[in-house]
Amino acid sequence: MKYRLKSLAAACALSLLAGSALAQNLKPLNSDTETDRMSWSELQSKLGDVPKAPAGTKIGGVSKTLTNEYWRALGEGYAAYAKKAGAEFVYQAAQSEGDQLGQLSIAENLISQGFDALLVSPQTDSNLQPALESAESAGIPVINVNDAVIPAARNYVGNVQRDNGVRVAKWFLDNRPNGGKVAVIEGQAGVFAAGQRTKGFSETISQGGKFKVVASVPGNWDRQVAYDAAATILQQNPDLVGFYANNDGMALGVMEAVKAAGLKDKVVVFGTDGISDAYASIKAGDLTGTVDSFPVLTGEVAVETALRLIGKQKLPRVVTTPQALITKDNVATYSVKGDELRKVLISAPAN
């Protein structure tokens, strides 16, 4: 296994060099700050109708894993839009969020099967770089869809990752004026989204000098790892006032640790993603909140983007999708689905 991982690392390092040459006029992508961008809600008004999918169009989706509800929901959005457009869609995922070789193999297999576009959600910023090169060589559009970011990716669909952490930090600044100690449970090292979410939270909450981030440790997107980390942090900091976790699965693990320590009424917990279990926990009075990035809608927008690329439309490098801080105060508003949710997201003010 060590040899295989070293081989993957070496291949990715070489591919990053080759990828920079392949991209030529593209600077390394930072999806949060890229200026060539457009909101999902502007696609129709600025680009016109989505081109009709040619007969036999096949679109492939490559996920990080299906053990996390977020990625299953993203796949639901992919499949629903593809069906409406009359395109064949196949969605495959690695066995776990650490199976980088397995995910790369899936992507390469889809490329060899002649798919017309690929929607990929890499496990790290580099593990799918070889597949990106193979697809581009074959003239197959690749859309990087949340949350790791391939630097050489030509097209990205997703939300502003830094803003996930910023929104939670602003809640603390607005609702805990006395400040206090807080902690972060990070995602997987080497993933753009994890770094940006953590940085957005930590840098924003430090403004004013009333809050102190006493711990920021990896949870690797794993609920049990997050539980263990939170339990240790609470033992060391019994006066902690809150946690921010980089995804909802970890936040739910943190919430269990908080309750086990008898601190539910003193320590608030926020997650990221907006999975149904997080919504249920908020409604039950456990989790204080989550930043929903609306995975079903994101999947729909990603397939729309793929069809526009297949139809030779010129798109911006980044298509941004919505996000919102969900708490008990607005959880009912954002619990709707489909067209009703689209209406809410277009009309609701940013929070």
pLDDT in tens, 251-275: 999 999 999 999 999 999 999 999 9
Task: Express each pLDDT in 108-138 by its tens digit.
Answer: 999 999 999 999 999 999 999 999 999 999 9
pLDDT at 348: 78
**Could you tell me if 231 and 206 are in contact, meaning their C-beta atoms sit under 8 angstroms apart?**
no
Q: What is the DSSP letter of 50?
A: P
Residues 286 and 300 in one domain: no
Burial 208-231 (b: 16+ CB within 10 A, else e): eeebebebbbbbbbbbebbbebbb
Alpha carbon distance 288, 50 (integer Å): 39
pTM: 0.92
Residues 287 and 300 in one domain: no
Task: Express each pLDDT in 9-46 by its tens digit.
Answer: 444 444 444 444 344 578 999 999 999 999 999 999 99
Which range marks the domain in which residue 72 is found?
A: 2-158+296-320
Q: Name the pairing type of β-strands 289-292 and 240-245.
A: unpaired
Residues 257 and 277 in one domain: yes
Residues 185 and 81 in one domain: no
Alpha carbon distance 204, 164 (integer Å): 11
Residues 68 and 116 in one domain: yes
Residues 150 and 165 in one domain: no
Helix ranges, the chain (H) = 2-23, 43-47, 69-85, 100-112, 129-137, 161-175, 192-205, 223-236, 248-260, 276-283, 295-310, 338-347
Q: What is the widest separation between alpha-carbon atoms in the chain?
A: 62
Q: How many CA atoms lie within 13 A of 133 on its CB side?
A: 20
Q: What is the CATH number of the domain that holds 93?
A: 3.40.50.2300
